[in-house]
Amino acid sequence: MNNQKIHMVDLMGQYKKIKNKIDKEIISTIESGMLINGPTVKEFSFNLSKYLNVKHVIPCANGTDALQIAFMSLDLNPGDEIICPSMTYVATAEAAAILGLKPVMCDVDLNTFNLTAEFIEPLITDKTKAIVPVHLYGQSCDMEGIVNLAKKYNLKIIEDNAQAIGCQYTFSNGTKKYTGTIGDIGTTSFYPSKNLGCYGDGGAIFTDDDVIAEKIMMIVNHGENKKYHHKIIGCNSRLDSLQAAILNIKLKFLDEYNLNRRIMASNYDTALNELSDIQTPKKIENSTHVYHQYTLKVANSLRDEIMRYLNKNNIPTMIYYPLPLYKQEAFRKYVDKEYYLKNTEELCNTVLSLPVHTEIETSNQDYIIEKILNFFR
């Protein structure tokens, strides 16, 4: 019997290890009185830009805003189409739909859960303006093919990097780039459970394009180009100084956090690889994996049964995601009633995510593995 509570994500355990540093920065920021656009925001923007080796990092209020602002910066028009995965968090398509754009939902690879050029190309029309690859669960899409496709059809790429910060992709010529810095624009979320998470909401937008960056910097601040002069329509989307101070501390630990997740994933792989009813996460050779989620495929309609069994043994699990985007009521108007994507449907019925985070005790992971093995014996 395991006596320690197991979490999907242990934010309190992570906080306790860096409590003194975090508390000091929070108090210092409050005492500075500069709570909006203070020096900690500029410092974090600079530090993250340096980490990612990208020219511009523009912080904003959350990951959904980051996507919406990215679309706004490209001067897209209502009715223009963007291609995004059918298996992703709702924000990817929602941010487009709210601007009157049409999200065209694309099937994904059965093994990596990600978009590929092969699935995207048949969906391209004369209305298509952008591709939105989502680096799901912490592994990069095969970006070389997507970049080549975008060049072929003169399309923009907006990367949804909310789950993969710190992941690196290697091109066939040996060039390495962090996900989120490969396309025209990258976006991310600093929601608390992310690999780099703050203690509230937060997000950021990345680009190497000076013109796009200038426009994004106006959009996030009401379209303002100088005080009380509003050049374009924008919104109010800022990362506050307290969250920036927290992220400045946690950024220093990001590589360590991602390494800990990879170690956990390796332990799961070793223990579960031989189970015939489970497929452990497949890794592509030209991408690292930061395991925002450790997601299995469970065969033979056993997913819900093992989920109940693990829950009975106080082991949390999650399904990311139980329903394709095109079956969500909010998005049904974008597809025909018969719209069906084979891989997405299969994945929504088989994926199951296990606890993976930076603070899990070895004994807890051993307990999780033991219970899974017992279930299949």
Task: Provide the residue ranges of all domains of the chain, joining segments of one domain with +.
Answer: 11-251, 254-376
- pLDDT for 3 equals 64
d(CA 120, CA 192): 32
* Fold equal for 11-251 and 254-376: no
Q: pTM of whole model > 0.75?
A: yes
Fold category of 11-251 in CATH? Aspartate Aminotransferase; domain 2 (3.40.640)
What class is the 254-376 domain? alpha beta
pLDDT digits (tens, 9 = 90+) for 51-73: 999 999 999 999 999 999 999 99
What is the distance between the alpha carbons of residues 358 and 101, in angstroms, rounded to a whole number?
A: 38
Mean pLDDT on 2-24: 93
As a whole number, the mean pLDDT across the chain is 97
Residue 300 has a pLDDT of: 87
Closest CA to 183 of 137, 133, 238: 133
Summarize the confidence of residues 112-117 as an average pLDDT. 98
C-alpha span between 369 and 377 (Å, rounded): 12
Residue 231 has pLDDT above 70, yes or no: yes
Rounded to whole angstroms, the Cα distance separating 9 from 122 reads: 38
Query: CA 235 to CA 126: how far, in whole Å?
Result: 29
Residues 292-319, mean pLDDT to the nearest whole number: 97
Is the confidence at residue 1, as pLDDT, over 60?
no
* Residue 4, pLDDT score: 77
pLDDT bracket for residue 2 (50, 70, 90): low
What proportion of the chain, given as a percentage, has pLDDT over 70?
99
Instruction: Return the closest-CA partner of residue 134 out of 76, 79, 94.
Output: 94
> Quick check: helix, strand or coil at residue 91?
helix
Mean pLDDT of 180-185: 98
d(CA 165, CA 144): 18
Mean pLDDT of 140-156: 98
Q: List the one residue out of 180, 204, 207, 205 whose CA is nearest residue 190.
A: 204
